[in-house]
A and B are shown apart, each in its own frame.
Chain A
Amino acid sequence: MTLGMVLALTGAVLSTALAGIGSAWGVGIAGQAAAGVVSEDPDQFAKVLIMQLLPGTQGIYGLLVTFITLSQIGILGGNPITDTHTGLMYLLACLPIAIVGLVSAYHQGRTSVASIGIIAKKPDQFGKAMLFPAMVETYAILALLISILVITNIH
Protein backbone atom coordinates (compact mmCIF):
# COMPACT_ATOMS: atom_id res chain seq x y z
CA MET A 1 0.00 0.00 0.00
CA THR A 2 1.33 3.43 -0.93
CA LEU A 3 1.80 6.36 1.44
CA GLY A 4 -0.87 8.27 -0.55
CA MET A 5 -3.39 5.49 0.08
CA VAL A 6 -2.52 5.46 3.82
CA LEU A 7 -3.11 9.21 4.05
CA ALA A 8 -6.42 9.01 2.20
CA LEU A 9 -7.59 6.13 4.38
CA THR A 10 -6.62 8.08 7.49
CA GLY A 11 -8.93 10.89 6.35
CA ALA A 12 -11.76 8.41 5.66
CA VAL A 13 -11.35 6.80 9.10
CA LEU A 14 -11.22 10.16 10.92
CA SER A 15 -14.48 11.29 9.27
CA THR A 16 -16.45 8.43 10.74
CA ALA A 17 -14.49 8.14 13.98
CA LEU A 18 -14.44 11.77 15.15
CA ALA A 19 -17.93 12.73 13.97
CA GLY A 20 -19.20 9.44 15.41
CA ILE A 21 -17.57 10.09 18.80
CA GLY A 22 -19.21 13.52 18.90
CA SER A 23 -22.62 12.10 17.99
CA ALA A 24 -22.36 9.25 20.48
CA TRP A 25 -21.59 11.77 23.22
CA GLY A 26 -24.37 14.16 22.14
CA VAL A 27 -27.04 11.48 21.76
CA GLY A 28 -25.95 9.91 25.06
CA ILE A 29 -26.20 13.07 27.14
CA ALA A 30 -29.46 14.16 25.49
CA GLY A 31 -30.78 10.63 26.11
CA GLN A 32 -30.14 10.98 29.84
CA ALA A 33 -32.15 14.21 29.92
CA ALA A 34 -34.90 12.63 27.78
CA ALA A 35 -35.11 9.64 30.14
CA GLY A 36 -35.47 12.03 33.07
CA VAL A 37 -38.42 13.78 31.44
CA VAL A 38 -40.14 10.56 30.31
CA SER A 39 -39.82 9.04 33.80
CA GLU A 40 -41.95 11.93 35.11
CA ASP A 41 -44.14 12.61 32.07
CA PRO A 42 -44.30 9.69 29.56
CA ASP A 43 -46.50 11.75 27.20
CA GLN A 44 -43.44 13.74 26.14
CA PHE A 45 -41.66 10.68 24.71
CA ALA A 46 -41.95 11.63 21.01
CA LYS A 47 -40.85 15.22 21.54
CA VAL A 48 -37.79 14.41 23.63
CA LEU A 49 -36.82 11.55 21.30
CA ILE A 50 -36.52 14.03 18.41
CA MET A 51 -34.34 16.24 20.60
CA GLN A 52 -32.17 13.28 21.48
CA LEU A 53 -31.67 12.33 17.83
CA LEU A 54 -30.56 15.78 16.66
CA PRO A 55 -26.88 15.37 17.66
CA GLY A 56 -26.84 12.00 15.87
CA THR A 57 -26.67 13.49 12.36
CA GLN A 58 -22.95 14.34 12.54
CA GLY A 59 -22.12 10.64 12.76
CA ILE A 60 -24.17 10.03 9.60
CA TYR A 61 -22.42 12.89 7.77
CA GLY A 62 -19.05 11.41 8.74
CA LEU A 63 -20.11 8.01 7.42
CA LEU A 64 -21.28 9.56 4.15
CA VAL A 65 -17.94 11.33 3.63
CA THR A 66 -16.09 8.08 4.40
CA PHE A 67 -18.11 6.19 1.73
CA ILE A 68 -17.48 8.88 -0.89
CA THR A 69 -13.77 8.95 -0.03
CA LEU A 70 -13.45 5.14 -0.19
CA SER A 71 -15.13 5.03 -3.58
CA GLN A 72 -12.98 7.89 -4.90
CA ILE A 73 -9.65 6.42 -3.78
CA GLY A 74 -10.35 3.00 -5.28
CA ILE A 75 -11.05 0.97 -2.17
CA LEU A 76 -14.62 0.18 -3.22
CA GLY A 77 -13.72 -0.35 -6.89
CA GLY A 78 -11.90 1.53 -9.61
CA ASN A 79 -8.22 2.53 -9.71
CA PRO A 80 -6.47 2.90 -6.37
CA ILE A 81 -4.63 6.19 -5.88
CA THR A 82 -0.87 5.94 -5.92
CA ASP A 83 0.72 9.31 -5.26
CA THR A 84 1.30 10.92 -1.85
CA HIS A 85 0.10 14.36 -2.96
CA THR A 86 -3.39 13.09 -3.88
CA GLY A 87 -3.63 11.05 -0.65
CA LEU A 88 -2.77 14.13 1.39
CA MET A 89 -5.49 16.10 -0.41
CA TYR A 90 -8.09 13.43 0.54
CA LEU A 91 -6.92 13.56 4.16
CA LEU A 92 -7.33 17.35 4.25
CA ALA A 93 -10.72 17.13 2.51
CA CYS A 94 -12.02 14.82 5.25
CA LEU A 95 -10.93 17.07 8.11
CA PRO A 96 -13.83 19.61 8.00
CA ILE A 97 -16.53 17.03 8.77
CA ALA A 98 -14.26 15.10 11.15
CA ILE A 99 -13.42 18.13 13.32
CA VAL A 100 -16.61 20.16 12.97
CA GLY A 101 -18.68 16.99 13.36
CA LEU A 102 -16.98 16.20 16.69
CA VAL A 103 -17.28 19.71 18.13
CA SER A 104 -20.77 20.49 16.82
CA ALA A 105 -22.24 17.18 18.05
CA TYR A 106 -20.83 17.88 21.52
CA HIS A 107 -22.41 21.33 21.63
CA GLN A 108 -25.64 20.16 20.00
CA GLY A 109 -25.94 17.51 22.71
CA ARG A 110 -25.66 20.16 25.42
CA THR A 111 -28.13 22.43 23.64
CA SER A 112 -30.54 19.51 23.28
CA VAL A 113 -30.29 18.93 27.05
CA ALA A 114 -31.26 22.56 27.64
CA SER A 115 -34.12 22.34 25.13
CA ILE A 116 -35.40 19.14 26.73
CA GLY A 117 -35.62 21.25 29.90
CA ILE A 118 -37.95 23.62 28.01
CA ILE A 119 -40.15 20.71 26.90
CA ALA A 120 -40.22 19.39 30.47
CA LYS A 121 -41.68 22.65 31.74
CA LYS A 122 -43.59 23.85 28.66
CA PRO A 123 -44.39 21.01 26.25
CA ASP A 124 -46.33 23.37 23.97
CA GLN A 125 -43.07 25.23 23.20
CA PHE A 126 -41.59 22.24 21.34
CA GLY A 127 -41.18 24.15 18.03
CA LYS A 128 -39.16 26.94 19.61
CA ALA A 129 -37.17 24.52 21.77
CA MET A 130 -36.14 22.49 18.69
CA LEU A 131 -34.72 25.55 16.93
CA PHE A 132 -31.88 25.99 19.42
CA PRO A 133 -30.11 22.66 18.81
CA ALA A 134 -31.08 22.85 15.12
CA MET A 135 -29.00 26.04 14.82
CA VAL A 136 -25.86 24.11 15.74
CA GLU A 137 -26.60 21.73 12.86
CA THR A 138 -25.88 24.55 10.37
CA TYR A 139 -22.14 24.27 10.95
CA ALA A 140 -22.09 20.49 10.61
CA ILE A 141 -23.91 20.86 7.24
CA LEU A 142 -21.44 23.52 6.06
CA ALA A 143 -18.53 21.24 6.95
CA LEU A 144 -20.21 18.31 5.17
CA LEU A 145 -20.68 20.38 2.00
CA ILE A 146 -17.05 21.50 1.98
CA SER A 147 -15.74 17.98 2.55
CA ILE A 148 -17.91 16.54 -0.26
CA LEU A 149 -17.09 19.44 -2.59
CA VAL A 150 -13.35 19.00 -2.14
CA ILE A 151 -13.38 15.18 -2.29
CA THR A 152 -15.39 15.06 -5.51
CA ASN A 153 -13.09 17.61 -7.17
CA ILE A 154 -9.76 15.94 -6.46
CA HIS A 155 -8.33 14.55 -9.68
Chain B
Amino acid sequence: MGDLSYVYAVARIRVREKYLLSNTDIEQMAGMKDEKSVLAYVRDKGWGEQGSDTGAESVLAAEEEKTLALIRELKIDPSVLAVLSYPNLYHNLKAAVKEIVTSEQHPAAFYPVEKYGAEDMPRIMKDRAYDELPEHMRAAAEEAHEAMMKTGDGQLCDVIVDRACLDAMLADGKRSESRLLREYVESTVAVTDIRIAVRALRTGKNLAFLKKALAPCESLDVGELARAASESEEKLLGYLENHGFREGAEALRKSPSAFERWCDNRLIRTIKPQKANSVSMDPVIAWYLARMNEIRTVRVILTAKANGFSEDAVRERVREMYV
Protein backbone atom coordinates (compact mmCIF):
# COMPACT_ATOMS: atom_id res chain seq x y z
CA MET B 1 0.00 0.00 0.00
CA GLY B 2 2.99 2.31 0.41
CA ASP B 3 4.15 4.38 3.37
CA LEU B 4 1.93 7.47 3.62
CA SER B 5 3.99 9.16 6.35
CA TYR B 6 5.85 11.18 3.73
CA VAL B 7 2.90 12.59 1.75
CA TYR B 8 3.63 16.16 2.89
CA ALA B 9 7.35 15.81 2.13
CA VAL B 10 6.74 14.31 -1.31
CA ALA B 11 4.29 17.12 -2.22
CA ARG B 12 6.94 19.70 -1.34
CA ILE B 13 9.52 17.82 -3.36
CA ARG B 14 7.15 17.71 -6.36
CA VAL B 15 7.14 21.52 -6.41
CA ARG B 16 10.94 21.61 -6.02
CA GLU B 17 11.40 19.21 -8.94
CA LYS B 18 10.23 22.03 -11.23
CA TYR B 19 13.39 23.94 -10.38
CA LEU B 20 15.86 21.13 -11.06
CA LEU B 21 18.15 21.66 -14.02
CA SER B 22 17.06 19.80 -17.14
CA ASN B 23 19.17 18.25 -19.89
CA THR B 24 18.40 21.38 -21.98
CA ASP B 25 19.85 23.62 -19.24
CA ILE B 26 23.00 21.52 -19.16
CA GLU B 27 23.27 21.63 -22.97
CA GLN B 28 22.97 25.40 -22.85
CA MET B 29 25.64 25.73 -20.18
CA ALA B 30 27.98 23.40 -22.07
CA GLY B 31 27.71 25.76 -25.06
CA MET B 32 28.53 28.91 -23.08
CA LYS B 33 31.76 30.74 -23.72
CA ASP B 34 33.26 30.89 -20.22
CA GLU B 35 32.93 30.11 -16.52
CA LYS B 36 31.42 33.53 -15.81
CA SER B 37 28.48 32.95 -18.17
CA VAL B 38 27.75 29.55 -16.58
CA LEU B 39 27.87 31.10 -13.12
CA ALA B 40 25.51 33.90 -14.20
CA TYR B 41 23.13 31.31 -15.68
CA VAL B 42 22.87 29.26 -12.47
CA ARG B 43 22.55 32.45 -10.40
CA ASP B 44 19.56 33.40 -12.56
CA LYS B 45 18.08 30.04 -11.58
CA GLY B 46 18.36 31.04 -7.91
CA TRP B 47 21.64 29.29 -7.10
CA GLY B 48 23.93 30.68 -4.39
CA GLU B 49 23.04 33.11 -1.64
CA GLN B 50 20.65 35.85 -2.73
CA GLY B 51 22.34 39.22 -3.25
CA SER B 52 25.89 37.93 -2.86
CA ASP B 53 28.39 37.81 -5.69
CA THR B 54 30.71 35.04 -4.50
CA GLY B 55 32.76 32.58 -6.55
CA ALA B 56 31.84 29.24 -8.05
CA GLU B 57 32.76 27.12 -5.03
CA SER B 58 30.66 29.28 -2.67
CA VAL B 59 27.66 28.99 -5.00
CA LEU B 60 28.00 25.20 -5.14
CA ALA B 61 28.54 24.93 -1.38
CA ALA B 62 25.45 27.09 -0.78
CA GLU B 63 23.38 24.76 -2.99
CA GLU B 64 24.61 21.68 -1.12
CA GLU B 65 23.73 23.35 2.17
CA LYS B 66 20.23 24.34 0.94
CA THR B 67 19.60 20.77 -0.20
CA LEU B 68 20.68 19.27 3.11
CA ALA B 69 18.67 21.87 5.05
CA LEU B 70 15.46 20.88 3.24
CA ILE B 71 16.13 17.16 3.70
CA ARG B 72 16.66 17.73 7.43
CA GLU B 73 13.48 19.83 7.60
CA LEU B 74 11.48 17.03 5.98
CA LYS B 75 12.59 14.64 8.74
CA ILE B 76 13.91 11.95 6.45
CA ASP B 77 15.26 8.90 8.28
CA PRO B 78 18.82 9.98 9.26
CA SER B 79 20.18 6.49 8.60
CA VAL B 80 19.38 6.98 4.89
CA LEU B 81 21.41 10.16 4.70
CA ALA B 82 24.17 8.49 6.68
CA VAL B 83 24.51 5.73 4.05
CA LEU B 84 24.58 8.29 1.26
CA SER B 85 27.32 10.23 3.07
CA TYR B 86 29.65 7.21 3.37
CA PRO B 87 31.65 8.08 0.22
CA ASN B 88 32.50 11.52 1.71
CA LEU B 89 33.23 10.00 5.10
CA TYR B 90 35.60 7.39 3.69
CA HIS B 91 37.20 9.98 1.43
CA ASN B 92 38.07 11.95 4.57
CA LEU B 93 39.58 8.81 6.06
CA LYS B 94 41.87 8.40 3.03
CA ALA B 95 42.83 12.07 3.16
CA ALA B 96 43.62 11.82 6.89
CA VAL B 97 45.81 8.72 6.49
CA LYS B 98 47.78 10.36 3.69
CA GLU B 99 48.10 13.61 5.64
CA ILE B 100 49.66 11.82 8.59
CA VAL B 101 52.16 9.90 6.48
CA THR B 102 53.22 12.90 4.40
CA SER B 103 53.08 15.31 7.40
CA GLU B 104 51.43 17.87 5.14
CA GLN B 105 48.12 19.53 5.88
CA HIS B 106 45.49 19.91 3.16
CA PRO B 107 42.23 20.99 4.84
CA ALA B 108 40.69 21.67 1.43
CA ALA B 109 40.96 17.95 0.62
CA PHE B 110 38.34 17.11 3.25
CA TYR B 111 34.57 17.14 2.85
CA PRO B 112 32.70 19.04 5.57
CA VAL B 113 31.38 15.95 7.38
CA GLU B 114 30.07 16.46 10.90
CA LYS B 115 32.48 15.08 13.55
CA TYR B 116 34.83 13.67 10.87
CA GLY B 117 35.96 16.75 8.95
CA ALA B 118 39.35 18.36 8.31
CA GLU B 119 40.11 18.83 12.02
CA ASP B 120 38.77 15.70 13.66
CA MET B 121 39.63 12.95 11.21
CA PRO B 122 43.41 13.62 11.13
CA ARG B 123 43.42 13.87 14.94
CA ILE B 124 41.57 10.56 15.32
CA MET B 125 43.97 8.82 12.94
CA LYS B 126 47.06 10.40 14.50
CA ASP B 127 45.97 9.28 18.00
CA ARG B 128 44.89 5.91 16.58
CA ALA B 129 41.60 6.53 18.37
CA TYR B 130 39.69 4.17 16.09
CA ASP B 131 36.93 3.80 18.68
CA GLU B 132 35.84 7.35 17.88
CA LEU B 133 35.03 6.30 14.32
CA PRO B 134 31.73 4.67 13.29
CA GLU B 135 31.93 0.92 13.84
CA HIS B 136 31.89 0.08 10.13
CA MET B 137 35.07 2.15 9.55
CA ARG B 138 37.28 1.01 12.39
CA ALA B 139 38.88 -2.11 10.91
CA ALA B 140 39.48 -0.44 7.53
CA ALA B 141 40.94 2.66 9.22
CA GLU B 142 43.40 0.57 11.22
CA GLU B 143 44.35 -1.59 8.23
CA ALA B 144 44.81 1.41 5.91
CA HIS B 145 46.85 3.25 8.54
CA GLU B 146 49.15 0.26 9.10
CA ALA B 147 49.51 -0.39 5.37
CA MET B 148 50.37 3.24 4.68
CA MET B 149 52.92 3.40 7.52
CA LYS B 150 54.63 0.17 6.44
CA THR B 151 54.56 0.50 2.66
CA GLY B 152 53.78 4.16 1.92
CA ASP B 153 51.59 2.79 -0.90
CA GLY B 154 48.75 5.29 -1.35
CA GLN B 155 46.98 3.07 -3.86
CA LEU B 156 46.84 0.17 -1.39
CA CYS B 157 45.39 2.53 1.19
CA ASP B 158 42.75 3.64 -1.35
CA VAL B 159 41.83 0.03 -2.16
CA ILE B 160 41.35 -0.88 1.50
CA VAL B 161 39.25 2.20 2.28
CA ASP B 162 37.19 2.15 -0.93
CA ARG B 163 36.35 -1.53 -0.48
CA ALA B 164 35.29 -0.91 3.13
CA CYS B 165 33.12 1.98 1.94
CA LEU B 166 31.34 -0.19 -0.62
CA ASP B 167 30.84 -3.00 1.89
CA ALA B 168 29.40 -0.57 4.46
CA MET B 169 27.09 1.09 1.93
CA LEU B 170 25.78 -2.27 0.80
CA ALA B 171 25.34 -3.67 4.30
CA ASP B 172 23.58 -0.62 5.76
CA GLY B 173 21.71 0.29 2.57
CA LYS B 174 20.25 -3.20 2.23
CA ARG B 175 18.89 -2.97 5.78
CA SER B 176 17.02 0.25 5.00
CA GLU B 177 13.23 0.35 4.73
CA SER B 178 13.67 2.50 1.61
CA ARG B 179 13.39 0.38 -1.51
CA LEU B 180 15.10 3.07 -3.55
CA LEU B 181 18.09 3.12 -1.22
CA ARG B 182 18.39 -0.68 -1.46
CA GLU B 183 18.37 -0.49 -5.26
CA TYR B 184 20.66 2.53 -5.32
CA VAL B 185 23.39 1.00 -3.15
CA GLU B 186 23.24 -2.22 -5.18
CA SER B 187 23.59 -0.22 -8.39
CA THR B 188 26.36 1.96 -6.92
CA VAL B 189 28.42 -1.02 -5.80
CA ALA B 190 27.97 -2.82 -9.15
CA VAL B 191 28.93 0.27 -11.17
CA THR B 192 31.90 1.02 -8.89
CA ASP B 193 33.13 -2.58 -9.21
CA ILE B 194 33.00 -2.28 -12.99
CA ARG B 195 34.83 1.05 -12.81
CA ILE B 196 37.55 -0.52 -10.62
CA ALA B 197 37.84 -3.51 -12.98
CA VAL B 198 38.27 -1.21 -16.00
CA ARG B 199 40.90 0.95 -14.29
CA ALA B 200 42.74 -2.13 -13.00
CA LEU B 201 42.82 -3.58 -16.51
CA ARG B 202 44.24 -0.36 -17.92
CA THR B 203 46.94 -0.13 -15.27
CA GLY B 204 47.82 -3.84 -15.51
CA LYS B 205 46.77 -4.91 -12.02
CA ASN B 206 46.76 -8.62 -11.15
CA LEU B 207 43.98 -10.92 -10.00
CA ALA B 208 44.95 -10.63 -6.31
CA PHE B 209 44.56 -6.83 -6.46
CA LEU B 210 41.16 -7.13 -8.11
CA LYS B 211 39.92 -9.67 -5.60
CA LYS B 212 40.88 -7.31 -2.78
CA ALA B 213 39.32 -4.27 -4.44
CA LEU B 214 35.98 -5.61 -5.73
CA ALA B 215 33.03 -5.69 -3.33
CA PRO B 216 30.64 -8.64 -3.78
CA CYS B 217 27.07 -7.68 -4.75
CA GLU B 218 23.99 -9.37 -6.21
CA SER B 219 24.29 -7.90 -9.73
CA LEU B 220 27.80 -9.20 -10.38
CA ASP B 221 29.90 -12.29 -9.94
CA VAL B 222 32.98 -10.43 -8.73
CA GLY B 223 35.20 -13.52 -9.05
CA GLU B 224 34.36 -13.81 -12.74
CA LEU B 225 34.65 -10.04 -13.24
CA ALA B 226 38.09 -10.04 -11.57
CA ARG B 227 39.30 -12.94 -13.74
CA ALA B 228 38.03 -11.23 -16.93
CA ALA B 229 39.64 -7.89 -15.99
CA SER B 230 42.96 -9.56 -15.13
CA GLU B 231 43.09 -11.30 -18.54
CA SER B 232 42.14 -8.88 -21.34
CA GLU B 233 39.84 -6.05 -22.39
CA GLU B 234 37.94 -8.40 -24.73
CA LYS B 235 37.23 -10.78 -21.86
CA LEU B 236 36.03 -7.89 -19.70
CA LEU B 237 33.80 -6.53 -22.48
CA GLY B 238 32.43 -10.05 -23.03
CA TYR B 239 31.62 -10.39 -19.35
CA LEU B 240 29.81 -7.03 -19.29
CA GLU B 241 27.82 -7.82 -22.46
CA ASN B 242 26.69 -11.18 -21.12
CA HIS B 243 25.70 -9.94 -17.68
CA GLY B 244 23.28 -7.10 -18.41
CA PHE B 245 25.83 -4.30 -18.93
CA ARG B 246 25.81 -4.14 -22.74
CA GLU B 247 25.50 -0.33 -22.76
CA GLY B 248 28.50 -0.12 -20.42
CA ALA B 249 30.58 -2.27 -22.75
CA GLU B 250 29.61 -0.08 -25.72
CA ALA B 251 30.54 3.07 -23.80
CA LEU B 252 33.85 1.50 -22.82
CA ARG B 253 34.61 0.76 -26.49
CA LYS B 254 33.83 4.39 -27.35
CA SER B 255 36.03 6.30 -24.88
CA PRO B 256 37.00 6.45 -21.20
CA SER B 257 34.85 9.55 -20.60
CA ALA B 258 31.85 7.91 -22.34
CA PHE B 259 32.28 4.99 -19.94
CA GLU B 260 32.47 7.28 -16.90
CA ARG B 261 29.32 9.03 -18.11
CA TRP B 262 27.53 5.69 -18.52
CA CYS B 263 28.45 4.81 -14.92
CA ASP B 264 26.87 8.00 -13.54
CA ASN B 265 23.87 7.89 -15.90
CA ARG B 266 23.08 4.33 -14.81
CA LEU B 267 22.74 5.55 -11.22
CA ILE B 268 20.45 8.39 -12.28
CA ARG B 269 18.28 5.91 -14.20
CA THR B 270 17.92 3.89 -11.00
CA ILE B 271 16.18 6.83 -9.32
CA LYS B 272 14.11 8.12 -12.28
CA PRO B 273 10.99 5.94 -11.60
CA GLN B 274 10.50 7.96 -8.38
CA LYS B 275 9.13 10.86 -10.44
CA ALA B 276 5.85 8.91 -10.65
CA ASN B 277 5.77 7.78 -7.00
CA SER B 278 3.57 9.76 -4.56
CA VAL B 279 4.19 7.81 -1.35
CA SER B 280 7.14 6.71 0.82
CA MET B 281 10.37 8.64 1.40
CA ASP B 282 11.86 7.39 -1.89
CA PRO B 283 10.91 10.44 -4.05
CA VAL B 284 12.60 12.67 -1.46
CA ILE B 285 15.79 10.58 -1.56
CA ALA B 286 15.64 10.63 -5.37
CA TRP B 287 15.38 14.44 -5.33
CA TYR B 288 18.36 14.65 -2.98
CA LEU B 289 20.43 12.43 -5.27
CA ALA B 290 19.25 14.43 -8.31
CA ARG B 291 20.33 17.68 -6.63
CA MET B 292 23.75 16.24 -5.82
CA ASN B 293 24.05 15.05 -9.42
CA GLU B 294 23.22 18.48 -10.83
CA ILE B 295 25.63 20.23 -8.44
CA ARG B 296 28.35 17.77 -9.50
CA THR B 297 27.54 18.36 -13.17
CA VAL B 298 27.63 22.15 -12.80
CA ARG B 299 30.98 21.78 -11.01
CA VAL B 300 32.29 19.74 -13.97
CA ILE B 301 31.11 22.41 -16.45
CA LEU B 302 32.55 25.28 -14.40
CA THR B 303 35.91 23.52 -14.03
CA ALA B 304 36.00 22.63 -17.73
CA LYS B 305 35.17 26.19 -18.74
CA ALA B 306 37.75 27.63 -16.34
CA ASN B 307 40.38 25.37 -17.93
CA GLY B 308 39.40 26.23 -21.50
CA PHE B 309 37.99 22.82 -22.53
CA SER B 310 36.27 22.67 -25.91
CA GLU B 311 32.46 22.49 -26.11
CA ASP B 312 32.62 18.85 -27.26
CA ALA B 313 34.93 17.92 -24.41
CA VAL B 314 32.50 19.49 -21.93
CA ARG B 315 29.50 17.70 -23.50
CA GLU B 316 31.30 14.37 -23.21
CA ARG B 317 31.73 14.91 -19.49
CA VAL B 318 28.27 16.11 -18.48
CA ARG B 319 25.74 13.70 -16.96
CA GLU B 320 22.10 12.93 -17.63
CA MET B 321 19.69 14.91 -15.44
CA TYR B 322 16.80 13.58 -13.35
CA VAL B 323 14.12 15.74 -15.04
- Is B12's beta carbon under 8 Å from chain A? yes
**Is B17 a contact partner of A33 (Cβ separation < 8 A)?**
no
**Is A113 a contact partner of B7 (Cβ separation < 8 A)?**
yes
Given A113-B279, A121-B18, A36 contacting B4 (CB threshold 8 A): no
State how many angstroms separate the Cβ of B18 from the closest Cβ of chain A.
Answer: 6
* Among B8, B15, B18, contact of A32 (Cβ-Cβ < 8 Å): B8
A153 to chain B: which residues have CB within 8 Å? none
**Is B14 a contact partner of A35 (Cβ separation < 8 A)?**
no
* Among A29, A39, A40, A121, contact of B7 (Cβ-Cβ < 8 Å): A29
**Is A117 a contact partner of B4 (Cβ separation < 8 A)?**
no
**Is B12 a contact partner of A121 (Cβ separation < 8 A)?**
no
Given A113-B278, A114-B278, A117-B278, A33 contacting B8 (CB threshold 8 A): yes
User: Which residues of A25-39 have CB atoms within 8 Å of chain B's CB atoms?
Assistant: 29, 32-37, 39
**Is B7 a contact partner of A33 (Cβ separation < 8 A)?**
yes
Interface string of A12-53 (1 = CB under 8 A from B): 000000000000000001001111110111000000000000
- Is B198's beta carbon under 8 Å from chain A? no
- Is A8's beta carbon under 8 Å from chain B? no
State how many angstroms separate the Cβ of B136 from the closest Cβ of chain A.
Answer: 34
**Is B10 a contact partner of A33 (Cβ separation < 8 A)?**
yes
- Is A116's beta carbon under 8 Å from chain B? yes
Interface string of B1-20 (1 = CB under 8 A from A): 00010011111101111100
B278 to chain A: which residues have CB within 8 Å? 33, 110, 113-114, 117
Interface string of A118-129 (1 = CB under 8 A from B): 001100000000
B17 to chain A: which residues have CB within 8 Å? 120-121
State how many angstroms separate the Cβ of B315 from the closest Cβ of chain A.
Answer: 28
CB-based nearest A residue for B17:
A121
**Is A36 a contact partner of B18 (Cβ separation < 8 A)?**
no
**Is B10 a contact partner of A37 (Cβ separation < 8 A)?**
no
- Report whether over half of chain B's contact residues are helix, strand or loop; otherwise say mixed: helix
Assembly CA distance A116 to B10 (angstroms): 10
Given A29-B4, A41-B15, A120-B14, A36 contacting B279 (CB threshold 8 A): no
**Is A117 a contact partner of B8 (Cβ separation < 8 A)?**
no
Assembly CA distance A34 to B9 (angstroms): 11
**Is A37 a contact partner of B18 (Cβ separation < 8 A)?**
no
Interface centre among B4, B15, B18 (most CB of A within 10 A): B15
Interface centre among B4, B10, B11, B15 (most CB of A within 10 A): B11
CB-based nearest A residue for B323:
A121
Assembly CA distance A33 to B278 (angstroms): 9
CB-based nearest A residue for B1:
A110
**Is A37 a contact partner of B4 (Cβ separation < 8 A)?**
no
Given A113-B279, A114-B278, A117-B278, A32 contacting B7 (CB threshold 8 A): yes
State how many angstroms separate the Cβ of B27 from the closest Cβ of chain A.
Answer: 21
8 additional A-B residue pairs with CB within 8 Å, beyond A36-B14, A36-B15, A40-B16: A33-B11, A35-B11, A36-B8, A37-B15, A113-B7, A116-B14, A120-B11, A120-B15
Give 22 pairs: A residue, B residue, CB < 8 Å, sorted on A: A29-B4, A32-B8, A33-B7, A33-B11, A34-B11, A35-B11, A36-B8, A36-B15, A37-B12, A37-B14, A37-B15, A40-B12, A40-B16, A110-B4, A113-B11, A116-B14, A117-B10, A117-B11, A120-B11, A120-B17, A120-B18, A121-B15
